[in-house]
Amino acid sequence: NKSSRKKKKSEKTLEDVIQEMMLDEGNSGRAASESSIDPRKGKVSYKVASAAKALYEGQALGADVLIVDPPRKGLEEDVLVQLCKPHNPNQDYTEDPVLLQGPRYKSNFVNDAHTLIYVSCGFDAFARDCDRLLKGNAGWRLQSATGYVLFPGSNHVETIAIFKRRAGRQDIF
């Protein structure tokens, strides 16, 4: 029927939304990838991958804010290890992991992050990860944590916690 066809034409897919976000407004509608402006500067990006793989590919290098949304089992061990490393003011700023000096285990792949937003669907794992973050050597402090009942009638609670630390380039300059 015509009304359902019209509705489908007006609906946007995630791909449509992302393409719209990537348009360079100052470039007469040309896609940002066609311009000389880096489309990632000042924009949000995301990647579907294991958190550890994304970290080691450099996805968090240069990031001020990290958002993690692990499964019920909590954060991967490699991710916790990186998050518990203290900020290293001597580590060169780079957004490319190839340019990090020294062995990978000495690099801090979350060196510039000063805010961590942790979305948890498993409270026991969140409590364990929170304990490690707060006792670790990275200087994380729990700024706030709020529980949300998204499924009324169930005993399931989503927790959103915001951690802060003094880190990143703003403390160095």
Q: Which residues are catalytic?
A: 121
Look-up of token digits 């066609």: 34
CA atoms of 111 and 95, how far apart (whole Å) = 11
Q: Which of 126, 122, 158, 125 is nearest to 142 (CA)?
A: 126
Q: Which of 171, 15, 155 is nearest to 89 (CA)?
A: 171
CA atoms of 143 and 85, how far apart (whole Å) = 19
CA atoms of 82 and 97, how far apart (whole Å) = 14
H or E stretch covering 67: strand 65-68
Indicate the residue type of 139. G
